[in-house]
Structures are given as C-alpha cells and as structure tokens.
Copies of this chain bind each other. A is one copy, B any other.
Amino acid sequence: MAQAKRGASTKARNRARPAPQSPAILLDVAAAARVSLATASRALDPDSDHPVSASTRERVQAAAARLSYHPNPMARALRARRTPTIAVVVHDVSDPYFAEIVRGATHTASTHGFLTVMCNSDRDPATELRYVQMLCLSRVAGVLFAGGGLEEPTYRRAMRGFIRSISEYGGAIVALAPRAEAWAAEVPDNRGGARLVTEHLLSLGHRSIAMIGGPPSIRTSRERERGYLEAMDAAGADPYVATSDFSRSGGAEAMSRVLARRERRITAVFVATDSMAIGALTELRRRGLEVPDDISVAGFDDIPGLDVVHPSLTTVRVPMAEIGSAGVTRLLALLNGEPGRPRVRVHPVTLMVRDSTAPPRRQRISRARS
C-alpha cells in the first residue's frame, strides 16, 4: 500500500511521517526549513567552509531548535570514521590513584562533549591488550594510558600494532605515566618528588634511609628510585633499596626484608607508593615498632584518606586529577593537529609533611664511610 509521499523530487529520501515521539533527524529539519539535506547540514555546522546565506542559516537553526534536533552521533561517527569518545586505560579503578585520574579525565572530557570509556586492565597485560583492540575497532578518538607499560617484548609488539592502527585512522594517544614509547605525555615529577622526600628525611637527621621500591620493570619505580639515589648520593649517604610490587602486601613484605637486614639499623624508609607505605606501616605495627619513634616512614602519591591512617603519612602530593584533566586537554589538542609542546610535560609535586616522619630518636654517630 503506497502511502502519500511528501516531496516532489524523484528519488528524494522521505519518511512517511516524522513520528512525533521518535527524535527528529536532519531530514525533518531540512523539510521544516524547506531546504535540502546538504544545506541543512551546512547551516548547522558553524565551521563549514561552504557559504550559507544568513537568512537560510537562521531558518534552519530555528527549525532545528523547534524540533529539538540533535545530530546522531553514530551516523556522524560512521562518516567521520571516529567516535566522539575517549578511553582511559588504568590498572585498577579501585586504586585511589587511578580513580582520581579517571575523575579528572571524565570531567574535562564531558565539558568538551566527549564520553569516556573505562578500561580496567586488572594489571593483566592480556586484558589490557584486549581492551585496546576493542578501542581501536570502535575507533575512539583517543586513548589515555594512565599506568606505565610493560617492557615485555610480546606485549610491546602487540601494543605497537594497535597503536599504529589507532594513529592511522587519526586517533591520539597520551601517556599519563613514563613510557618507553614516544607518545605525548603528562606525567608527575617522580624523580623530583623522590629527591624532595629523601631530602626531607635527611634534613631531619636521618642517614640510614632505606627505600622500598616498586617493580623495576615499571618506569615510575625507576624514576622514583633514581630521585632517591640522587639525594642520598648528594648527601654522601649509603642507599639501600628493596623492591616489591605496588600493593599493600608488597609493601609489608619488602618492609620485613628491610628489617631483616642486620648490618645497619635503618631509621627511616621512603616507600615508592602510599599503598605500599600503608602495608609497611601495618607490618611495623605487627612487629611492635613505633612510627615515627622507632622508624620514620614516608610515601608517595598522597592518595585520599591518608590523613586518617595512624600515624598520618608524610608523602608527596601528586596532582592526579589535574594530570587526568591535562591528559584529555592534550588529547583534544592533538586531535586538532596541535602537537603540544613539550612532548612530555612534567607536573610539579609537593611534599606533605605529616606525623609519620620525625628526627631519629637516639642520635647515633653515623658510621663514617670507609
């Protein structure tokens, strides 16, 4: 049963009736403004290079407003070969460090009309790669890598493949932690922060300062370790580093290794992340050691809620939400063709002195270096 067709053109697309409840499409706007689809599209696009007369544009805009027209993102995405969404890849959202980054990123993404998809790798490289493949297939506009990458060759090869295909379709990549890859990056000043906190411990009079570091395969760990080593070296103090994984249990385990070391009594520990530091703290409490009386402890990151652990933890404040936000800003700049200088921008960090650090109780003559 042929229904009445509106429009005189031979093969013009038409809808039988712009069913009132279903959302208006561009065709409806064009019909209402009595212009073609092309003109309607151009009139609504503020930065189209095709000229449209003021009166026509006004008519179209009025029609669009009247029908409360919103362009269909999927159709646009299909045409533009790119979705108006960004992705943020983290190791674990329930880690406050990443949660803050995600918060900052989604916030500024949404102010620019972008949706943010969450990719939680659970610290599993295979999961991360699966996510990146999905992202690359669904042509997200850009990807933020919040965690550091692995150095493992298979992983890196696979990752490189996906990244290449992402940049082939014009997607942007930004790292939020130091990475081997030459991407644009917004990173915290890991080395400077580590130096800062080590210098704080030194200035309190500590000489025997151990460090509990993260996995050496992760660049963030290495940078923080480097800052510690530099500060120790500058003060002429002997460093000692025990590494473990970025978790509370890892911190506890490394702490007991530090304590097991007999040759020298440690009076202070710098721990590479707050989570690990909390683990270290519980291990110390378990052994009946008092912080900071018996030993000072300092962390890194300043994750929220640190002021209520006991004793409140001295640490280095990393502006995580700001970094997430800056990452998105950078991503959008990249999409606009602006490279953004410098390629890796480092964000300053600040020392937060709280109760877990104090001068060493019994001032002992530090053993002269042989």
**Chain A residues near B (Cβ < 8 Å):** 21-23, 70, 72-75, 77-78, 81, 83, 85, 87-88, 92-94, 96, 99-100, 102-103, 106-107, 110, 113, 115-120, 122, 127, 130-131, 134-135, 137-139, 165, 168, 248, 278, 281-282, 304-305, 307-310
Contact = CB atoms under 8 A, between A and B. Distances in A.
Contacts of A278: 305, 308
A165 B23 contact: yes
Contact of A117 (B85, B93, B100): B85
A89 to B, nearest CB: 11
A70 B137 contact: yes
Contacts of A96: 94, 96, 99
A277 B328 CA distance: 35
Interface centre among A96, A139, A304 (most CB of B within 10 A): A96
A113 B310 CA distance: 43
Contact of A94 (B99, B110, B113): B99
A138 B75 CA distance: 10
A73 B83 CA distance: 10
A131 B109 CA distance: 11
A251 to B, nearest CB: 11
Contacts of A113: 134
Contacts of A100: 94
A118 B106 contact: yes
A282 B308 contact: yes
Contacts of A310: 309-310
A72 B139 CA distance: 9
A100 B95 CA distance: 9
A96 B305 CA distance: 11
Nearest to A307: B282
A130 B106 CA distance: 13
Contacts of A94: 96, 99-100, 103, 304
Contacts of A130: 110
Given A93-B103, A99-B99, 9 more contacts: A70-B137, A72-B78, A72-B137, A74-B74, A74-B139, A94-B304, A110-B130, A115-B119, A282-B307
Contacts of A165: 23
A78 B72 CA distance: 9
16 contacts: A21-B168, A73-B137, A77-B77, A85-B117, A87-B115, A92-B103, A93-B93, A93-B103, A93-B106, A99-B99, A106-B118, A107-B120, A116-B117, A278-B305, A282-B307, A308-B309
A122 B107 CA distance: 9
Nearest to A310: B310
A219 to B, nearest CB: 24
B83 A93 contact: no
A75 B78 contact: yes
